[in-house]
Structure 1
């Protein structure tokens, strides 16, 4: 969740050793301020770091915080919130439009508003923690 340049560089250097050439930097359910920090850092890293021989960070996977309380798994339940387009738009703005995949519990998405928004804007809504 820190998404520091050092952490992302370690990931980018290590993944090719396992045959992976690209990746999505992934957040997890956390307080909004932590998610915002990770998204900003990942966006900065994406702008400045694309080196030969390293896996390319091609976007961001937002895992949560739009998940179900009783299906949280390793995600902290205290930071789970209902799916919300305005919150997502705020996150996407901080991420410089790099969020490509969102794991959410669709049954919590009133009127499928966020799911529809993601689809209409070329992102993947992935059912998870549902």
Structure 2
């Protein structure tokens, strides 16, 4: 399914938003969508959690999962494409390690979203209270 040009352009123009009180709010740099896609899968989340303990080989990472190694390496590729892990070959073994920088980017974006929505909900509460009191 193709997206229309106007849909794509309107998706990207939101950098600063005006709040009802006239102040401006920056939604921040939008993180790479691949990060959220990679973390949406429980297998990949478990791999990231394991890599928090330190680097590990492909077979070591695959050991707790009941799937074929080629299927498991596809999960590792998704994590690597998202920038969440990095790999290097040492002899016949491929070692993976966590690269947390993309998660910091996503965390900053989510914190900005939380602030935005908390302000919106506060304004909604004030509005509802005003309606109830009149």
TM range (shorter): under 0.3
Larger Cα-atom Rg = 2
TM-score (norm 2): 0.25
